[in-house]
Amino acid sequence: MPKTFPFPQDLRDAQLALHEARAVSEEYARTLPWSAEPLPGWESDKQLHTTYGSSKPDSPGYTEEQAARVAEYRARVLELSATVMTHPYWGTLTDDVLAARMALKHAHEQPAEVGA
């Protein structure tokens, strides 16, 4: 059975917000052109020992609005990452810090402990 840790609720909330911010950022990124800058596309020939040939259409680059939105998402993910990584809770642990950090990533899957 995996070890459980008494994560404070604000740390659990920050980690969940980080998961959500990353998911929103990645979902938005999938709608964008493949390059932030306008670049020509390409089509390559089949490579030796494979049937795969790669290609990309021309990329118009990001619009100013798209670039600003990407920057906002990145700033939010960075802010939440810093909040999680520098939380005072980590200073209370003497061992199993790595296990605790890994467990926090899945803490939202279990109910919060009473009194935590």
Mean pLDDT of 87-97: 93
Q: What percent of the chain has pLDDT over 90?
A: 72
Q: Hey, where are the domains in the chain?
A: 9-34+63-109
More confident: 112 or 88: 88
Entry pTM: 0.82
| 55 DSSP β-pair partners | 43
pLDDT in tens, 17-58: 999 999 999 999 999 999 999 999 988 877 778 777 788 999
Amino acid at 84: V
64: which 2 tokens?
Answer: 């100013």
Q: Which pLDDT score, from 0 to 100, does residue 84 have?
A: 97
The amino acid occupying position 93 is L
Report the amino acid identity of residue 103: A
- With contact defined as beta carbons under 8 Å apart, do 73 and 32 qualify? no
Question: How many Å apart are CA 80 and CA 110, to the nearest integer?
Answer: 21
Q: Which amino acid is at 53?
A: G
